[in-house]
Amino acid sequence: MSVLVLGGSGYLGRAVCLELEGAGLDVVALSRSGSAAAGRGLRGDVTRHNLGLFGDELAELQAEVTHVVGVFGSVDWDSGPAQALDVHATGVRNVLRFSRACPKLEALVHVSSLLAFGRAEGRVGNRELYVGQDFRNWYEYGKYHAEALVREAEDLPFTVLRFGPLLGPDPAGHALGAGDGLLAAVPYLLQGYPVHLKHGGRFPSYVGDVVGAAEVVAAAVRTPATGATWTWFDPALPTVAEVMHRLCRPWGVVPKIVDSAVVGRVQRLVASRIGLPKALLDYAEPWFDLDPSVMDTLPGGPPACRPGYLAGTGRALLEPEADLQGSFT
């Protein structure tokens, strides 16, 4: 097998490349930087025609690739429409076009997000995508639109993977970026500000360990593509409150989580002044009702997360390169 990992230098991409190379596969990691934690690095750009590749380099890659894995994309919940759609929609269209020109292609593995459900009402599972939901932000809509494009590509063999927010130090020991997703709330909590969460945050976060997610990607590469959708998250189902407590524990801080509509309204008024990303305020209530049987279709069952991966995330945020301290401005 020859596997092209798009976004191979990113947080999940590095873990995927290491997992695939460890399984003995030939790995090409494409990214704007051209760097690779494992396999061969290749400079390219999914938002450009032919992924930014030309001539012999393009022809040789398409001739040898058997699997294309898309783990690229921004996780910035505050991204605007241009950024979200350029990466998630234009990028996927380019990937589909590239994949159709690969004569040996056995599977396209597309990494989507559970947040593509947005503000869905009623129970949702692997088969559903559009259920009449609206979206909190352009990130959610971008992930929804990208998955819809893949599902419409009936001429290609594909598997769609859905993950929630991914945490944990990556297997190469890299620190995390602290500015996106759930982690963007950590500087606010460490400064002692109260945060409003419905039911005190006692609802599922659907987080998962990045290493477990990489194992699911590798399983999708090994399994014949049938157009199925797989979902994976931490089988222990830690709540949002549990995640926040474990992230803050290495700092010796107990986060102030309250169920107070008054606090929620005040936060919206002063969010920009105290450094709280407004997008996070939209996740203060339970997200959606996810069918617990969604992981039953995973071959071999759902991978377990590494023990202590949440606390390990908090410890990784202590590292200077995580730039968490710099976000206190």
Specify the pLDDT at position 328. Answer: 36
Share of the chain above pLDDT 90, in %: 68
- Of residues 136 and 104, more confidence is placed in 104
Rounded Cα distance, 328 and 154, in Å: 47
- Of residues 305 and 281, more confidence is placed in 305
Please, which pLDDT band fits residue 86 given cuts at 50, 70 and 90? confident
Q: How long is the chain? A: 329
What are the structural domain ranges in the chain?
2-174+206-236+287-305
Backbone angles phi, psi at 40, to 5 degrees: -100, 125
Rounded Cα distance, 109 and 216, in Å: 11
Tens digit of pLDDT for each residue in 266-287? 877 877 776 676 667 788 889 9
For 2-174+206-236+287-305, CATH gives 3.40.50.720
Specify the pLDDT at position 279. Answer: 66
Tens digit of pLDDT for each residue in 36-50? 889 999 999 999 999
Tens digit of pLDDT for each residue in 175-233? 566 666 788 888 888 888 888 889 999 999 999 999 999 999 999 999 999 999 999 99
Per the prediction, the chain carries an average pLDDT of 90
Specify the pLDDT at position 325. Answer: 44
Those residues whose C-beta lies under 8 Å from the C-beta of residue 113, and which sit 6 or more positions away, are: 140, 143, 162, 163, 164
Rounded Cα distance, 212 and 60, in Å: 32
Rounded Cα distance, 163 and 172, in Å: 21
Share of the chain above pLDDT 70, in %: 91
Rounded Cα distance, 59 and 296, in Å: 39
Query: Is a pLDDT exceeding 90 seen at residue 329?
Result: no
Tens digit of pLDDT for each residue in 126-172? 999 999 999 998 889 999 999 999 999 999 999 999 999 999 987 76
Those residues whose C-beta lies under 8 Å from the C-beta of residue 29, and which sit 6 or more positions away, are: 5, 8, 9, 13, 17, 35, 36, 37, 38, 39, 40, 41, 42
Query: Is a pLDDT exceeding 80 seen at residue 79?
Result: no
Specify the pLDDT at position 182. Answer: 82
Rounded Cα distance, 272 and 219, in Å: 42
- Of residues 100 and 329, more confidence is placed in 100
Specify the pLDDT at position 173. Answer: 63
Specify the pLDDT at position 214. Answer: 97
Q: What is the 3-state secondary structure (H, E, C) of the chain?
A: CEEEEECCCCHHHHHHHHHHHHCCCEEEEEECCCCCCCCEEEECCCCCHHHHCCHHHHHHHHHHCCEEEECCCCCCCCCCHHHHHHHHHHHHHHHHHHHHCCCCCCEEEEEEEHHHHCCCCCEECCCCCCCCCCCCCHHHHHHHHHHHHHHHCCCCCEEEEEECCEECCCCCCCCCCCCCHHHHHHHHHHCCCEEECHHHHCCECCCEEHHHHHHHHHHHHHCCCCCCEEEECCCCCCEHHHHHHHHHHHHCCCCEEECCHHHHHHHHHHHHHHCCCHHHHCCCCCCCEECHHHHHHCCCCCCCCCCCHHHHHHHHCCCHHHCCHHHHC
